[in-house]
Chain A
Amino acid sequence: MSNGARSVIEVHRNGNIMAQEKLLEGYVGFANLPNQVYRKSVKRGFEFTLMVVGESGLGKSTLINSLFLTDLYSPEYPGPSHRIKKTVQVEQSKVLVKEGGVQLLLTIVDTPGFGDAVDNSNCWQPVIDHIDSKFEDYLNSESRVNRRQMPDNRVHCCLYFIAPSGHGLKPLDIEFMKRLHEKVNIIPLIAKADTMTPEECQQFKKQIMREITEHKIQIYEFPETNDEEENKMVKKIKDRLPLAVVGSNTIIVVNEKRVRGRQYPWGVAEVENGEHCDFTILRNMLIRTHMQDLKDVTNNVHYENYRSRKLAAVTYNGVDNNKNKGPMTKSPLAQMEEERREHVTKMEKMEMEMEQVFEMKVKEKIQKLKDSELELQRRHEQMKKNLEAQHKELEEKRRQLEDEKHNWEAQQRVLEQQKLDASRTLEKNKKKKIF
């Protein structure tokens, strides 16, 4: 058993720590460490979040189905592309895939409605908000006291679909990538690559890479490794960026072989044929070789950027930037305490001010009310007087009327009397005449 396992350790000469190379006299067994890690992580399972962004009709759903060989979007649950959206939405679908005892919780984040409207300004905002909210969730769960469960929902990779125009990037593409390249790993893909002939494809790729460097967009970089073999492979991939993909899940028989592809009247475009498109490269890179690296970069670079920006913003309000040019002297907690106190004093001051203002206003209002009361009183008096005057007038008139009536009646009586007298005398005369 003792095969003299030898491990080469790097010798550090900084300070007092110097690790010397020691020869083992027997088999200790820590070479088994990777297996332990492996077993633990297999038990835990893996999580991976993939975001797909692009205009509708570029074959995003089909590509996802092809990548993971499942029907994420099946006829019973049609993908977002079959539903017309008026605004950009962000939708998540989770799928648990198992293979060889390893399980992967795959989350696909789709962005239907992206770039479909007539006016597409700020169509990237929902996407940015989503990514930031996932970072915030992780930050909060990291800062909690009980950190047993830390689900990692951060977006690990963003596949950006470029329409195969053959000319170059559209202004929308450039804007989007400029805003998101520091928040998430962007992998640009040329969608529906069977539109172009090989020469057109080459030219298009070159044009895109030129524009990407021109606008200083940082797409996901494949890491250099020490291994020569891997480096060669990585270089080959880099030459073929951005990857031109074709997606399909329909199986067609070609030369007695069953392949996945698209059937045209002039031939069959095979999805897994390296000469037809770069699908296999994408799949290998995304799933087989670089998935862990994508997660690492998200954790170490993008998440840390977000975290430092967020925490710096919290302390920015209380600290004058000119004073603290060096590293932070106060711990975040003390900083927060101070802020809180400041905040409280500010609040008290504001309260006092508001009370004063309130008093003043109340006084004003009371004054106004008094004035209006007086006014009303005055008017009331005046109206009463008017009323009395009218009353008197009416009495006057009435008396006059009564007087007139009396006079008139008196006159009538006199007239009656005269008439009576006149009739009597007439009768007397008549009698006299007859006799």
Chain B
Amino acid sequence: MNEQNELPPHVAAPSPTAPHGPSGLGGGVGVDRVPGLGHSGGGSTLLGYIGIDTIIEQMRKKTMKAGFDFNIMIVGHSGLGKSTLVNTLFKSQVSRWSSGWGSEHKIPKTVEIKAVSHVIEEGGVKMKLTVIDTPGFGDQINNENCWDPISKYINEQYEKFLKEEVNIARKKRIPDTRVHCCLYFISPTGHSLRQLDIEFMKHLSRVVNIIPVIAKSDTMTLDEKNEFKHRVRKELETHGIEYYPQNEFDDDMEDKNENDKIRETMPFAVVGSDKEFQVNGKRVLGRKTAWGVVEVENPNHCEFALLRDFLIRSHLQDLKEVTHNIHYETYRARRLNDNGGLSDVKVTCQFPLTL
């Protein structure tokens, strides 16, 4: 993806809601009539053109009308540039600070969960983006169990969805508030993961998709960065923390190869910025220091572009699917088996299980 920053990025990726097609139909949008060759399964060749491939177009039209939602949670202790990064990712002021949430940066005494929603539109596609911020995480002197409020929130969203699903008169489109992705910000110490990081990820990697990210990576030189990433990956492996994309959910070889390549470069070392500067006659997003300008979208400087492509341009739908098919189903199975409710979630009203 060599995109210039002057042109507004346009949707060049396949339509986000197109499923990984059942057949080898091209991912192109607005596809022309292609003679019906090559399809999955061992069926017979088509004798003429039927028009099955236009289903993609139909789906696209529908989703463009309906729009879709994406919920991203950002976790990390204060001062790691979380809000700036989210603003940079979605190229708009979507973080908590910009919603006029007050300019006081006081550290709250307990972990709070603040969700802010915006509707952003691009190329005719509407997306309701909800950014869930967790101020107060890891900032206290005693950080025992500071992941509990977060865990509770995630389970509450699953619970809400479950309730809607189990209802007799269901809504046509259940509003999806489940957390699809959790960006966990690692502090760039250059040594290793902190105790708190490991504890958090251990507790939550089975409940939500965690994408670890190294924040403020312009602190480290290239060598330090590589060493740090290597060490972090090893530690995550030692502790058995499965971050997204999880090994076990790779469908086929193609997916596996692609995901393996991504897993090798994770965690992404990113830098966020919403200010623009002139560099070599171009206007780029970056940070200006006395010894140079750190360009956010330059792959030699930091891996922001990789993260953005991964998160938005190729794996957005996959994140939602893994959340729905795997994490949510795990929750649902556990819940319906227990028949009494988990200890985390306070069920406000007992719904009758009509099973």
How long is the Cα–Cα vector from A180 to B298 in the complex, in angstroms?
A: 45
Query: Provided the pairs A194-B219, A195-B218 are in contact, do residues A269 and B191 lie with their beta carbons within 8 angstroms?
Result: no
Mark contacts of B103-117 with chain A using CB atoms, 8 A cut-off: 1 yes-contact digit, 0 otherwise.
001010000000000
Q: Which parts of A114-129 form the interface with B (CB within 8 Å)?
A: 116-121
Q: Which of B105, B141, B195, B292 contacts A172 (CB 8 A)?
A: B141
Q: Which residue of A lies closest to B289 (CB)?
A: A197
**List of A residues within 8 angstroms of B293 by Cβ:** 266
Chain A window 44-70, contacts with chain B (Cβ cutoff 8 Å), 1 for yes, 0 for no: 000000000001111000000000000
B274 at the interface (CB under 8 A from A): no
Rounded to whole angstroms, the CA-CA distance of A386 and B171 in the bound complex is: 90
Residue A384 at the B interface, CB < 8 A?
A: no
Residue B295 at the chain A interface, CB threshold 8 Å: yes
**Residues in chain A near residue B216, CB distance under 8 A:** 195
| Shortest distance from the beta carbon of B206 to any chain A beta carbon, whole Å | 19
Question: Interface code B189-215, partner A: CB below 8 Å = 1, 0 otherwise?
Answer: 111101110010000000000000000
Q: Give, as a whole number of angstroms, the nearest-CB distance from B104 to chain A.
A: 10
Check A192 for interface membership: any CB of B closer than 8 A. Answer: yes
Task: Tell me if A76 is interfacial: C-beta within 8 Å of chain B.
Answer: no
Q: Look across to chain A and name the residue whose beta carbon is closest to the beta carbon of B106.
A: A168
Q: Mark B318-330, 1 if CB is under 8 A from A, else 0.
A: 0000000000000
Does any Cβ of A come within 8 Å of B351's Cβ? no
> Who on chain A is nearest to B139 by CB?
A170
CB pair B218 A167 closer than 8 Å: no
Q: Which of A57, A175, A195, A269 has the most CB of B within 10 A?
A: A195
Of the residues B140, B188, B189, contact of A56 by C-beta under 8 Å:
B189
Check B191–A57 contact: CB distance below 8 A: yes
Residues of chain A at the chain B interface (Cβ within 8 Å): 55-58, 81-82, 84, 116-121, 163-168, 170-172, 175, 192, 194-195, 197-198, 262-270, 273, 275-276
* B187 CB–A CB distance under 8 Å: yes
In the assembled complex, the Cα of A181 lies from the Cα of B80 at a distance in Å of 28
Q: If A121-B142, A266-B294, A267-B289 touch, does A116 touch B219 (CB 8 Å cutoff)?
A: no
Could you tell me the dominant secondary structure of chain A's interface residues? loop
Give the residue name and chain of the A residue nearest to B301 (CB). A265
Report the nearest B residue to A171, measured CB to CB. B141
* Interchain residue pairs with CB less than 8 A apart (20): A57-B189, A81-B191, A119-B144, A121-B141, A163-B187, A164-B79, A165-B79, A165-B80, A166-B79, A168-B107, A170-B78, A170-B107, A170-B139, A175-B141, A194-B219, A195-B216, A197-B289, A264-B291, A266-B291, A275-B290
Residue B143 lies at the interface, judged by CB distance under 8 Å to chain A: yes
Verify B140–A195 contact, CB threshold 8 A.
Answer: no
Whether B300 is near chain A, meaning CB under 8 Å from some CB there, is: yes
Chain A nearest Cβ from B150, distance in angstroms = 15
Chain B residues whose CB sits within 8 angstroms of the CB of A171 once the complex forms: 107, 139-141
Decide yes or no whether B288 CB sits under 8 A from chain A. yes
B219 touches A168 (CB 8 A): no
Q: Verify B141–A58 contact, CB threshold 8 A.
A: no
Closest residue to B195 on the A side, CB-wise?
Answer: A118
Residues of chain A within 8 A (CB-CB) of B141 are 119-121, 171-172, 175
For the complex, give the distance between the alpha carbons of A58 and B219 in Å. Answer: 11
Give B contacts to A, CB under 8 Å. 77-81, 105, 107, 139-144, 187-192, 194-196, 199, 216, 218-219, 221-222, 287-295, 298, 300-301
In the bound complex, residues from chain B placing their C-beta under 8 Å from that of A81 are 191
CA distance A168 to B196 in the complex (A): 21
A435 CA / B134 CA spacing, docked (Å): 140
| Distance of A269 Cα from B105 Cα, bound (Å) | 29
The minimal Cβ–Cβ distance linking B346 to chain A, given in whole angstroms, is: 25
Query: Complex formed: what's the CA distance from A86 to B144 in Å?
Result: 15
DSSP majority for the B interface? loop
Chain B residue with Cβ nearest A196: B289
B291, B295, B298: the one contacting A268 at CB < 8 Å is: B291
The answer to whether B195 and A116 touch across the interface, beta carbons within 8 angstroms, is yes
**B residues within 8 A CB of A266?**
291-295, 301
Q: Which residues of B contact A57 (CB under 8 A)?
A: 187-191
Contacting pair A120 B191 (CB below 8 A): no
A404 to B312: give the CA distance in the assembly, Å: 113
Shortest beta-carbon contacts, A-B, top 9: A165-B79, A57-B189, A267-B292, A266-B292, A267-B291, A119-B142, A195-B219, A167-B79, A57-B191
Q: Is the CB of A163 within 8 A of B199?
A: no
- For A165, give its contact among B78, B222, B291, B294 (CB under 8 Å): B78
Residues of A within 8 A of B287 (CB): 197
Contact A276 B291 (CB under 8 A): yes
Interface contacts beyond A164-B79, A197-B288, A275-B290: sample of 7 additional A-B pairs, CB < 8 Å, sorted by A: A119-B143, A120-B141, A120-B143, A165-B79, A166-B81, A175-B141, A194-B289
Q: Tell me, in angstroms, the Cα distance from A270 to B3 when the chains sit together.
A: 33
Chain B positions within 8 Å of A165 at CB level: 77-80
Contact at B79–A264, with CB atoms within 8 Å? no
Measured between beta carbons, the chain A residues less than 8 angstroms from B218 are: 194-195, 264
- Minimum Cβ distance to chain A for residue B139 (Å): 6
* Contact yes or no, B191 A82, CB < 8 A: yes
Once the chains are docked, how many angstroms separate the CA of A388 from the CA of B164? 88
Closest B residue to A122 using CB positions: B141
The residue among B144, B189, B291, B294 with the most chain A CB atoms within 10 A of its own CB is: B291
CB of B192 within 8 A of CB of A262, answer no
Known: A163-B79, A170-B139, A267-B289. A262 touches B144 (CB 8 A): no
Q: Say how far B234's CB is from chain A's closest CB, in angstroms.
A: 13
Q: A56-B191, A121-B142 are in contact. Are A265 and B78 (CB under 8 A)?
A: no
**A171 CA to B79 CA, complexed, in Å:** 13
Cα of A302 to Cα of B143 in the assembled complex, Å: 33
B-side contacts of A117, CB under 8 Å: 195
Please determine whether A167 and B105 come into contact, CB atoms closer than 8 angstroms.
yes
Q: A118-B195, A192-B219, A197-B288 are in contact. Are A58 and B143 (CB under 8 A)?
A: no
Question: Is the beta-carbon distance between A269 and B291 smaller than 8 angstroms?
Answer: yes
Q: A166-B79, A264-B221, A265-B222 are in contact. Are A198 and B289 (CB under 8 A)?
A: yes
